[in-house]
Structure 1
Amino acid sequence: MCTAAAMLTACGGQDAGDTRSPSAPSGVTAQAGSATSVHVMWERSADDRGVTTYEVFRAGTRVKSVPATKHMIDVEGLTPSSAYTFTVRALDAAGNASPHSVSVPVTTLAPAAQDSRPPSTPGPPKGRAEGARSVTLSWGASGDDTAVTSYDIYQADSRIHTVPGTTTTARITGLRPGTVYTFTVRARDAADNSSPDSATLDLTTASAPGAGPSTAPTGLKATARKGAVDLTWIPPTTGAPVKEHQLFLNGKLVTTIVWGAQPPPGQVRYTFTVTDEPGTRYSVKLRAKLPDGNWGDFSAQRTVVVG
């Protein structure tokens, strides 16, 4: 028998009394990425305690489950020139399932002839932040010897959105307030050949009400040369000298840069050595230690290829 004090943890956990299902996912789209794959995207669902999982169904059969932080997946291993329908539903921590979303139809592309030539690089992206949680992007169209079938939008080397090859605009939602995001675009054809990355575009979402100015380093540039990468950036304005920065390489902390009692004024420089073979791709970002001892916001991310 459970006492009142112990009931929450001993009799089923914090979700024992949760019987309310999440809302059905909205904005579901399904786009053929190639002859054998379909890209499915959706908007987040609402729940009184929080969505934990999304499930993707093909003709009523579950084919994918992803954590609530993801709102897109690729379904592969399909048949060329074939019609499919997809729905999405949300689950919360108590196992309550939302209704299925509206069913969306899609037809995979016809088998591509032997095609090893990727599309050309998309034109430089442009865009603007729309408040604290979304941005809009546009870019120049790519060319291809057959046809561009889709454009993939990347944020810090992670694909976060895909649009049809006839579209050169996108709206990205679900972002965080007061955060700098680095976007690139790649074009893809029916044979899944991807173009080189477009130029990068940095956009900063509006700060949350009451939040102070951004504490991210700005103007980060990364230049690769044989055996090393040179960095330059401008530390954030904090009212006191910024003596330390953390350097992240491919998403992992690799070193803390300490300037000592008197850091250099204005733009700073730092060089780190690399030992991987030529052609290795590196993603670099920084954050500064603030006067109160906390670490500030991350800079925009830069990607370089050595050698």
Structure 2
Amino acid sequence: MRRTAPLLVLCLTAAGLTACSSADTRPPPAPAGITAQAGSATSVHVMWQAAAPADGVTNYQVFQAGRLVRELPADRTMVDVTDLAPQTAYVFTVRARDAAGNTSGPSASAAATTPAAKAEDHQAPTAPARTTGRADGPRAATLSWAAASDDTGVTAYDVYQGGIRIHTAGPGESATTLTGLQPDTVYTFTVRARDGADNSSPDGPAVEVTTPPSAGQGPGTAPTGFTATASPGAVTLTWTAPDTGRPTAEYELHVNAKPVTVIQFGAGAVPPSGAAGVEYRLTVTEPAGTPWTLKLRARLPDGNWGAFSAERSIVLAP
């Protein structure tokens, strides 16, 4: 835990009464794992590792040569810095800021040099012809791809997950390690090639990677304690949300091995006061005596679906 240093105490005295409040004055740690990769002749992709939840970080500041160029919320740990000059070396650092306004020291520096600009280049690279992946434990995966070609040369490879770019690798790289994943989760990755004019190829072949369940390295992603109870015209579901570090607001319910609905907070899913449990009442129109098997999974903070809960079997009530 970070908040163990002495706190500044502010006291106000009025009418013989003294009221004191503690102010957080300890800055979060500097971001770690910063990298910079030129994506085109005029842009550089900067990435860093997310802060631990206990650090209380609310946003990040990206600096180029000591000048603030981007400010991002805490759930963003990468950014494309644009409007740069071709064939120019750039150095970037990142600072973290918490809710009290405390700002960390600068991260380590990351340098990148933009390539030369190519005039009137509108031809995109070919898509990487092959993509493979494997899990490296519950929270990491290694991805590899075949080289792409371009008339002016590939300058970067972009890794996408769920249609969102999550990583950028250099033109000479054909593999990378992705970290910060969730245990017991299916991920689908694709890779695109990019050239110096920012033309992107189509997606290469998609590859699925399933991370194994965690073994003492953090909680799993499956809802626990799942129950299903039939009553006339309804089925009541209860479960405990997975511990993903953030509130879980969306679940996908499967009945008889098929997805039937998405359950969202504010649309019937109500967590009991002061508990991690969730209850949902599902209206039923099928005939009494119909057998159902049910299971559900949660939408994780990174947008993926987590692991399924245990499966429950019921018979619809008359």
TM range (shorter): 0.5 to 0.7
| Partner-residue secondary structure (3-state), 1:153 | strand
| Partner-residue secondary structure (3-state), 1:62 | strand
User: CA-to-partner distance for each residue in 1:6-48, whole Å, 9 max, x for gaps?
Assistant: x79xx5xxxx442322221122111111111111111223474
TM-score (norm 2): 0.65
The structural deviation recorded for 1:84 is 1.8
Alignment of 1:53-64 (within 5 A): 53-64=59-70
Match of 2:177 in 1: 171
Distance in 2, matches of 1:263 and 1:140, equals 48
Runs of 4+ in 1 over 3 A off after TM superposition: 45-49, 208-215, 240-244, 258-265, 297-301
Match of 2:267 in 1: none
Q: Does 1:187 align with 2:193?
A: yes
CA spacing shift, 1:245–1:21, aligned 2, 3 Å: same
Alignment of 1:204-219 (within 5 A): 204-209=210-215
> Contact 2:135–2:210 (CA<8 Å) still a contact in 1?
yes
The structural deviation recorded for 1:139 is 0.8
The structural deviation recorded for 1:192 is 0.9
Match of 1:30 in 2: 36
| Partner-residue secondary structure (3-state), 1:128 | strand
The structural deviation recorded for 1:83 is 2.2
Q: Which structure has more strand as a fraction of its residues?
A: 2
CA spacing shift, 1:20–1:199, aligned 2, 3 Å: same
Q: Does 1:121 align with 2:127?
A: yes
> Contact 2:183–2:220 (CA<8 Å) still a contact in 1?
no
> Contact 1:176–1:205 (CA<8 Å) still a contact in 2?
yes
Match of 1:245 in 2: 260
> Contact 1:244–1:259 (CA<8 Å) still a contact in 2?
no
Structure 2: 5+ residue stretches without partners: 1-11, 224-251, 264-281, 306-318
Q: Report the number of matched residues.
A: 237
TM-score (norm 1): 0.67
CA spacing shift, 1:200–1:27, aligned 2, 3 Å: same
The structural deviation recorded for 1:2 is 8.9
Structure 1: 5+ residue stretches without partners: 216-235, 249-255, 266-288, 302-307
| Partner-residue secondary structure (3-state), 1:33 | strand
**Which residue, out of 85, 101, 115, partners 1:109?**
115
Report the AA paired with residue 194 of structure 2.
R
CA spacing shift, 1:43–1:243, aligned 2, 3 Å: closer
> Contact 1:125–1:200 (CA<8 Å) still a contact in 2?
yes
The structural deviation recorded for 1:198 is 1.0
